Amino acid sequence: MALFKEVKIDNAKNWDYDLTAAAKSLFFIFIEYSQFFSSGGLLLSQLTLNYGLGPLIFTSSIMFGFGIGASYSVLYAVATAWFPNHRSIIVGIIASGLGLGALVLVPIQTAVINPNNLQNFTHPEVKNNIPKAFSVLGGFILCLQIIGFALLREKHSDVEMSIELSTIADSQTVETVTENEKESIVRNYTTLEALRTIDFYLAFLINFFNSALTGLTSSTVKTYGRDCGFDNNFLVIVLTLSSVFNCLGRLTWGIIGNRYSFKGPLIILQIEWASLWFTYGFVTQVGGTAAKALFAIWTFLLYTCLAANFVLIPNLATRIFGPRSMPTIFGLLFAAMAPSTLILSGVIAHFDIRGQWVPIYCSGAGFAVIGLILTLFLRDPNGACTAWTNSCARVCDCCRCDPKEEDIWNKPETSDKKEFN
């Protein structure tokens, strides 16, 4: 009887692995098309630049943004499947590519557009180099994408029909096997189950406010530096080094997230972010060399916070909802960036922000505080050093639902043990 049950279980596993393999093959097709949209959007922008703002926005923003965002969570899922016990570290390594990309591309972009370090960015020489920049960056990114896609491999799980339990006679040995199987049970939410859980909406709002902070970092730092009278070469050096901190920060936060899960590190992130934004508008008021040094230090720290958000949110999605539907669930959480950045862009476009850095950055500190409060109510099944937040998490228990089904091969029954006694 037990042998029949195990054969039945393995058949269920075969069906599941077949469906998973089919889904992952679609993943690779999806990645291929997303590459076309991202690099193709940049290459086409050198042409649409001459046909007005609308076509340029479509190629450089919509096409490029869709291509980058569409493959983001899929690449995480494919890569982390190889190292299920170190998912956060793998996410940190992959995400560090974003920071490393800026480290490589910012100097190239500067060398192509403004090789003579002209302070007037409307100078004809600068404007005439913009189409060339789209061509160079688009071609360079396309080459990297082709290399990466050629090296990408999915993990094929080995499904074997084991009959070892049929030869086990010692009940103590069977109990040991059963206990090990219990430890390997993973709670996997479907997308619909995740949408019925309050943790999804808490995480969405956290990412919404944090995305505003990442946009505030990338879109205002250089303008803020120029408004303080810093020359363009100094700002390029600061932003290039910030890319290094961005890259290394993702690796560091990935290791931290793998060790301490997501809630504790996320609380530390929100506190650090709030402190930095609250003081960022004041550090340049000291003047002289000290202002340059403090501006650089604060900018480096802000980019490490930016790095942390791109590592901890995927970690959150995997820890709470499980790895099986992670690409879809994280993709939905990642979608919070769209309304956040659109609102931020609208505010920056319609208001003159120059000289208003203190209220702007204090508002950023307020966003970080809101994210901190929301984080306290998240449930972290593997959280370390966060027991003091359990009372906050329990408040939302009535709005949580558990996954209806668990993987059948990870759900041993006591009747199986009795068969061998």
- Mean pLDDT score, 149-154: 79
Distance CA 135, CA 412 (A): 58
Residue 229: pLDDT band (50, 70, 90) is confident
* Same domain for 214 and 359: yes
pTM for the full predicted model? 0.73
* pLDDT tens digits for range 50-88: 888 788 888 887 888 777 777 777 777 777 778 877 877
Residue 181 lies in a domain: no
Amino acid at 109: Q
In a domain, 178, yes or no: no
Q: Residue 15 corresponds to which tokens in the numbers above?
A: 């069906």
Instruction: Identify the pLDDT of residue 60.
Output: 80
Give the mean pLDDT of 371-394.
Answer: 89
pLDDT tens profile 92-105: 887 777 767 777 77
pLDDT surpasses 80 at 118 = no
pLDDT (0 to 100) of residue 121: 66
Residue 172, in any domain of the structure: no
Neighbours of 200 (CB within 10 A): 21
Distance from C-alpha of 129 to C-alpha of 134, rounded to nearest angstrom = 9
Q: Are 334 and 71 in contact (CB under 8 A)?
A: no
Read off the amino acid at residue 151: L
Residue 409, pLDDT > 60, answer no
* Residue 236 within any structural domain of the chain: yes
Q: Are 117 and 263 within one domain?
A: no
Q: How far is CA 308 from the centre of its chain?
A: 9
Domain identity same for 225 and 290: yes
Identify whether residues 269 and 216 lie together within a single domain.
yes
- The parent domain of residue 358 ranges over 192-402
For tokens 């494919």, the residue is 78
* pLDDT digit string, tens, across residues 265-309: 999 999 999 999 999 999 988 888 899 999 999 999 999 999 899
Contacts of range 45-53, beta carbons closer than 8 Å, 24 or more positions apart: 45/134, 45/138, 46/131, 46/132, 46/134, 46/135, 46/138, 49/130, 49/131, 49/134, 50/131
- Residue 41 above 90 pLDDT? no
Give the DSSP H or E segment for 257: helix 232-260
- Domain end point (choices 104, 138, 155): 155
Decide if 247 is inside a domain. Answer: yes
Q: Are residues 376 and 237 in the same domain?
A: yes
Task: Based on the fold, state whether residues 55 and 149 are members of the same structural domain.
Answer: yes
**Is the predicted pLDDT of residue 158 greater than 70, yes or no?**
no
d(CA 269, CA 157): 36
| 327 lies in the same domain as 196 | yes
Number of domains the chain is built from:
2
Q: What is the CATH number of the domain that holds 342?
A: 1.20.1250.20
- Whether 261 and 397 share a structural domain: yes
Tell whether the model's pLDDT for residue 412 goes beyond 70. no
- 187 lies in some domain: no
In a domain, 411, yes or no: no
| Whether residues 39 and 151 fall in one domain | yes
Q: Are residues 248 and 341 in the same domain?
A: yes
pLDDT at residue 119, as a whole number: 67
Are 54 and 150 in a shared domain? yes
pLDDT: which is higher, 332 or 418: 332
As a whole number, the mean pLDDT across the chain is: 78
Same domain membership, residue 73 and residue 131: yes
pLDDT tens column, 231-276: 888 888 898 888 888 888 888 898 898 888 899 999 999 999 999 9
In a domain, 11, yes or no: no
